[in-house]
Structure 1
């Protein structure tokens, strides 16, 4: 069917009085539902969302129509956007089902992050669900030198759905309120609602005087929901995402180098990082086992070969947190290595150490264990050519060369940058390892370097 543009001439939704709010100090965290009935079978995830959505509006307001027209004006970009949810949207739907939440909330990461687990906002929010540090701590998301769970697509989804369940319950299961609270915060929303109630004014979310970003947030969500639910009407061909998991897991012994695993799985390292975005360094966190998300069709094949891989690819590295009384000589002696190696591996310009500083420690002096893994750098506000370049001893020209870019090239949010060997495949002679960087809006090669 031919695509068309809507005329921005429909009336806005009428205001309505909404259920009373559960005071925050009386609220108990929502509990997952028990599944009593057999799961209904759907042709794809879009049908599952469309048939069960609870927030379809018969009349679309001007702002929602505006965003619909933006999507329709760029059909190729819309297709690219929808494709980014391929490996994650079914898992999101399953988590929403556990808490009896509207399935259309599975579209929310398209608004939050373009379904990009690498996404970082200017304010420091991260991952598919753009968790801020404070909210992440409340929901138990870990942030260590090796592992940032806000970037982990599955673990962050579990936390985000719990948070949405809390908001949905707190605001009387009103989806407009739930969305507004997710974007602008529940405390602000509650204050605005109570203020309008005291003044006898409408408590429709559009009448609350919420921040501009929050006022636009709900229409953005409604726009993409409208296009999904009525895709045929708008001439949109939705990607064929089945209503089943396309993502599986494999567990390997010990700590695993990402690029060694990518060779074993015969998958591009960038793809491995995307599915396992919580792993922010050159390897998985140290531990007895490592779990990787992989395409489900590879699980059986790789599981049959995993013992052979684990035996040949054990990493002999650990991290050491500097404690009171530590020195490079003491640490080197404790781990049977050399001060020069510690300084080289950790890019130390002097012998000074800071309390709680984390150092990479090689557990062997063999030649194969002395390659230099680059630390990951997540671009943050204030980064400049000089302070980042000095830290890593690398120039913007080298970054451009390693990634096939021009110095004037624009960088997209979530772009994976190769810092080091452009071919990124692991070799015995390789002394550098590519690490995933996250790029924020406004970043350029000079700001990254």
Structure 2
């Protein structure tokens, strides 16, 4: 027993001696030792401080202003480069996603988030908001990657719930009664373009039921134009069309191109679904814009109430009606007999081949050379604004089997010169301004000023006849050259016109002469004025050359 006790005492003493020796060795650190590298980052993104910090002159003198300035400059230089690196990694991830390399996209997004965590910013600095925006962008991109991993939905009921609530039944009743003719005619026209649309949706892995959206958007008419200036099968406004690569110029508006606008709609719908997570809300956003729907979601008192039917009553009337209208369309097409419909046979799909044309030619002239109805060529090429090919290389669609004949006839067809501008006439009424006139005809003040070569956007007068871009309702056609009653042809001056102008408060002779592009002396001579003084209400004769 004594031997065992003695052995334990000796062992304990030996261990204490070793422990003391080790601790003494660790304390002997030279002053000039290089700083140890930072330890592995924690999940918070901040590096753990080293256990033993090196001693330097700057630490002994913390109030050294020169050293502090250098440190601040270094931090200011490093922060922008870090955010740029995050943006660069996100861009690389997007490119990998477009190539279908989902694993590489996730790796790049992880690296981007790791880089983002290194950015430190105070809550009152602009960098703090940029950091939050980058967090949101990364979250959306990661959600998009995982959405790509999901298999395409196999049935309609798993993607767009076909509920028969009161709102849907109300739209079904509308299609059964007042809108029956519209519904049957749109269904008949669907045969022209829907086979192509279905094929594009299948390639993209989207539910083919979405191919029926053009029925309520445009009645499957590629040149349909809404009051909001939305155009084409998929009713794109100009800005959204530009966003998804649809070109507009003097000759072509690709919003009316069935193939290109369908591909643009697929991109837009895919992004909306990735963002909102369900098709009903995505379809609502397609109608009124994602920002409008997002604002309604943010206004909800309970965060998780973001399903379409939760938002239904707070959406604009047209949008709130849009989704039930689409569901009603699907229900009727799926079971027409149940809802009392005997749907007509859809028109046969259009088949064509393409021919490269490099000069402006009217479709009617080509059709006459080929012995075809010009409406067939217009149906195949609805994106041509003047029913003419542009003055640059263009892929013209012609009926199957007519490609060689079309190429042979192009040498015999004369070039077509398009009109400089499509416009109508408006006669200015008392109290009207260019702003009011522009809003009435859905154009801009700048467009009216350019078209009329006006020197001022504020100086117009009652009875003045001005050109308005487009062919809006209420305009006198450009072909009608009849003058308004207050503008009479001057027999003594056949090369111009005579206008009676009533002087307004604030008018000067110089201002009026600049507006009409004539000299002050000419106005004075034509009106027998002895001085430059004018009185409000005074009538002046303006002879335009």
Q: What is the TM-score normalised by the length of structure 2?
A: 0.49
1:276, 1:30 → 2: CA distance? 35
Query: For the Cα contact (< 8 Å) 1:118–1:277, is it kept in 2?
Result: yes
1:184 is aligned to 2:288 = yes
1:67 corresponds to which residue? 171
Distance 1:76 1:384 in 2: 28
Which stretches in structure 2 are left out of the alignment for 5+ residues? 1-134, 422-450, 455-468, 483-545
State the Cα RMSD in Å: 3.9
Shift of 1:261: 2.0
How far does residue 171 in structure 1 lie from its aligned partner after superposition? 1.3
Structure with higher Rg: it is 2
Q: Does 1:299 align with 2:400?
A: yes
**Deviation per CA, 1:365-415, whole angstroms, max 9, x where unpaired?**
xxxxxxxxxxxx7544xx533xx42x34379xxxxxxxxxxxxxxxxxxxx
Deviates more, 1:255-264 or 1:125-134: 255-264
Which residue of the other structure, out of 350, 354, 374, is the alignment partner of 1:246?
350
User: Are 2:190 and 1:85 aligned?
Assistant: yes
Inter-partner Cα distance in structure 1 for 2:236 and 2:162: 32
SS in 2 for 1:291: strand
Structure 1 segment 187-206 matched on structure 2, within 5 A? 187-196=291-300, 198-200=301-303, 202-206=305-309
By how many angstroms is 1:289 displaced? Answer: 4.1
Partner of 1:370: none
Residue in structure 2 matched with residue 207 of structure 1 by the alignment? 310
In 1: Cα distance, 2:287 partner to 2:452 partner: 43
Counterpart residue number, 2:412: 312
CA shift, 1:188, in A, is: 1.9
String of CA shifts for 1:341-388, please: whole Å, max 9, x gaps.
xxxxxxxxxx9979xxxxxxxxxxxxxxxxxxxxxx7544xx533xx4
1:406-445 pair list within 5 angstroms: none
Query: Does the CA-based 8 Å contact 1:120-1:130 persist in structure 2?
Result: yes
Instruction: Find the counterpart in structure 2 of residue 163 from structure 1.
Output: 268
On the 8 A contact 2:355/2:407 being kept in 1, the answer is no
Task: Give the drift of 1:68.
Answer: 0.9
Counterpart secondary structure, 2:352:
strand
Deviation, structure 1 residue 115:
1.2
Q: Secondary structure at the match of 1:233?
A: helix
Report if the CA contact (8 A) 2:272-2:282 is conserved: yes
Query: 1: distance between equivalents of 2:157 and 2:406?
Result: 42
Distance 1:97 1:30 in 2: 19
Of 183, 202, 225, which aligns to 1:97? 202
Does residue 108 of the first structure (1) align with residue 213 of the second (2)? yes
TM-score after normalising by structure 1: 0.58
Which of residues 129, 150, 168 is equivalent to 2:255? Answer: 150
Offset of 1:185 from its aligned partner?
Answer: 0.9
Counterpart for residue 384 of structure 1: 474
Aligned equivalents of 2:258 and 2:162: distance in 1? Answer: 33
Q: Is the 8 A contact 1:168 1:178 kept in 2?
A: yes
Q: Secondary structure at the match of 2:236?
A: coil
Partner of 2:383: 278
CA distance in 1, matches of 2:239, 2:139: 21
Task: Call closer, same or farther: CA 1:51–1:147 in 2, change over 3 Å.
Answer: same
Aligned equivalent of 1:393, options 477, 480, 483: 480
Separation in 2, partners of 1:33, 1:313: 50
Structure 1 or 2: larger helix share? 2
Taking a change above 3 Å as real, the CA distance of residues 58 and 119 of structure 1, as seen in their structure-2 partners, is closer
CA distance in structure 2 between the aligned counterparts of 1:189 and 1:273, rounded to whole angstroms: 37
Deviation at residue 319 of structure 1 after TM alignment: 9.2
Go from structure 1 to structure 2 and tell me whether the alpha carbon gap of 1:131 and 1:139 turns closer, same or farther (over 3 Å shift): same
Question: Which structure's relative contact order is higher, taking Cα pairs within 8 Å and 6+ residues apart?
Answer: 1
Q: Is the 8 A contact 1:50 1:229 kept in 2?
A: no
Question: Which residue of structure 2 aligns with residue 326 of structure 1?
Answer: none
Give the 3-state SS of the residue equivalent to 2:186 in structure 1.
helix
Q: Distance in 2 between matches of 1:307 and 1:276?
A: 17
Q: Which residue of 2 aligns with 1:42?
A: none
Count of aligned pairs: 302
CA, structure 1 residues 27+135, in 2 after alignment: closer, same or farther (shift >3 Å)? farther
* Matched position secondary structure for 1:279: coil
